């Protein structure tokens, strides 16, 4: 994956400086960390942007998008109803 970095100096700099290990320990490359460096879609999204992109990919099908939209809207309504039904002293 890192071989796709066009600038040779930048590529070797990336190879020689792996990111922090997500599980602790010494820095090392993972499939996802290499994909992040070159701008590819990761297998296990971590950031908000990566998660949003994953949802967009999954919701490309209109039937899936409709169900997801309904679920998200119901979650918001449920939260609103719960907040409105609280008894305040």
Backbone dihedral angles phi then psi of residue 82, each to the nearest 5 degrees: -65, -40
Predicted confidence at residue 18, as pLDDT, reads 93
Q: Angle formed by the axes of helices 48-58 and 62-84, to 10°? A: 130
Its pTM stands at: 0.67
Per-residue pLDDT of the chain (89 residues; tens, 9 = 90+): 888 899 899 999 999 999 998 788 899 999 999 999 999 999 999 999 999 999 999 899 999 999 988 998 888 776 666 666 666 55
What residue has token string 């990111």? Answer: 19
Measured CA to CA, the distance from residue 74 to residue 16 in angstroms comes to: 48
* DSSP secondary structure letters along the chain: -GGG-SSHHHHHHHHHSPPPPTTSSS----HHHHHHHHTPPPSS--SHHHHHHHHHHHTTSHHHHHHHHHHHHHHHHHHHHHHHTPPP-
């Amino acid at each position: 994956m890192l071989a796709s970095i066009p600038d040779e100096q930048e590529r070797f700099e990336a190879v020689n400086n792996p990111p922090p290990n997500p599980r602790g320990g010494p820095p090392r490359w993972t499939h996802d960390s290499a994909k992040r460096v070159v701008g590819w879609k990761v297998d296990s999204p971590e950031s908000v942007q990566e998660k949003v992109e994953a949802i967009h990919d999954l919701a490309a099908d209109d039937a899936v998008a409709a169900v997801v939209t309904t679920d998200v809207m119901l979650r918001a309504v449920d939260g609103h109803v719960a907040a409105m039904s609280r008894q305040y002293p």
